[in-house]
Amino acid sequence: MIRQFLPVSALLLGSAFLLFAGGINGLILPVRGTIEGFSAVSLGLLGTGWAVGYVSGCIMTPPLVARVGHIRAFGAMAAIAAISMLASAIQITPWAWIVLRGVCGFCFAGAAMIVESWLSEQSSPDTRGRIFGVYTMVNLAASTAGSLMLTVGDPAGFLFFALAAIFYCMALVPTALSSSSTPAPLVTVKLNLAALWRNSPVAVFAVFWVGVSNAAFGTLAAVYAQNVGLVLAAVSFFISIPILAGAIIQMPVGLMSDRMDRRKVLVGVAALALVADLGFILLAPEGRGMNLTLAALLGGSIYAMYPVIVAHANDHAEPGTAIQISGGLLLTFGIGSIIGPTVAGLAMAEVGIRALFLITAVSHGMVILYTLWRISKREAVADADKTSFQPINAGRTSSLQTVEASQQPVDAAKGMN
């Protein structure tokens, strides 16, 4: 078992450093921005900048790597991400941060794609599932640890910008020293909304709104937590607990979706998310306990929806098209992620801090209503024709390489049906 992971240990370590830096990066900016008096609109645009950069990175990295190679491209991505963090500490203005956040999102997407293609190349079909499972756990642990680092220092200083930059640079070291062979070319997928819609209208519609809600919450949750009076340690937990809850609930939700109409499971999970949204709005919690409880319920729900959507879309996919469909859904998710933080930031500025959950509630309500309507119009896929549920971490720790690795078993299963 250990021998299976030795060839990819350097890549896993590099990914851990990358996600640790990303965890610090994703939390220090909204926390520090609130301290500096940045508006909710500008803080929401940080998330928009990240999403634009991330989607651009997913699209533009494959030709870049084809031109200069994996190791050079990865080194450039890690170095530029570190520079963007240090520049953010020097130029503390909203518009500079929005641009720099976009640059960091681009670099993060590119670096993740390179690491994941390397992992896929170094693993066999028999070990790929286990290796990517460990990869996901490493990323989750590293990202959570990075977020929790803010509890050990003063976010008003230079420390956390420097720490994030250091760990971005450290991510470069294991891959630079690795003796692994050069991986296969990166995956690139063209976005074809018409084909995606013909395959599964529910998947396209739902994944867009899930992108809106997840990006809005992921970007502005720390701003909400600070404004309701939570101390910094509680703010860090408010960000970390939803991610952990989403990871824990994925497998039970996946097993359920394998045994019944996935659309009904999607409606049920979205309904739980809506309950959490309304809890934040109607109960107006101010204490730590209720806020963390609702955050866990919301996170467990919103981070479990994406893999159900992908599985549902692949139930309708023709053999050999899973990567195009799932990659297109990831990019559609990214489009929603561009819109969500901007709209939520505007709503919070006009209505109040809890307007964040008005946006997520509208998103989840749209998913529920449209999916129920489609259930009345189209029969469920027969159990014999279903693909197997594959846990997927959507958003900041996913790229087209993750989608490709997770969909290889799906393509095989579709070919046998």
pLDDT tens-place string over residues 51-63: 999 888 878 888 8
* H or E, element range at 58: helix 40-68
pLDDT tens-place string over residues 12-54: 888 889 989 999 998 999 999 999 999 999 999 999 999 999 8
Alpha-carbon span 206 to 116, nearest angstrom = 26
160-192 in b/e form (b: 16+ CB < 10 A) is: bbebbbbbbbbbbebbeebebeebeebbebebe
Cβ atoms of residues 170 and 44 within 8 Å: no
Query: What fold characterizes domain 193-416?
Result: Growth Hormone; Chain: A; (1.20.1250)
pLDDT tens-place string over residues 365-376: 999 999 999 888
Alpha-carbon span 220 to 230, nearest angstrom = 14
The burial of 225, by beta-carbon neighbours within 10 Å (0-12 exposed, 13-18 middle, 19 or more buried), is given as buried
Alpha-carbon span 129 to 120, nearest angstrom = 10
0.75 exceeded by pTM: yes
Question: Side chain identity at 124, as an amino acid letter?
Answer: S
Tell me the CATH number for domain 2-177. Answer: 1.20.1250.20
Check for a shared fold between 2-177 and 193-416: yes
pLDDT tens-place string over residues 127-159: 666 676 677 778 888 888 998 898 888 888 899
Mean pLDDT in residue range 95-109: 92
What per-residue confidence (pLDDT) applies to 414?
47
Domain ranges of the chain: 2-177, 193-416
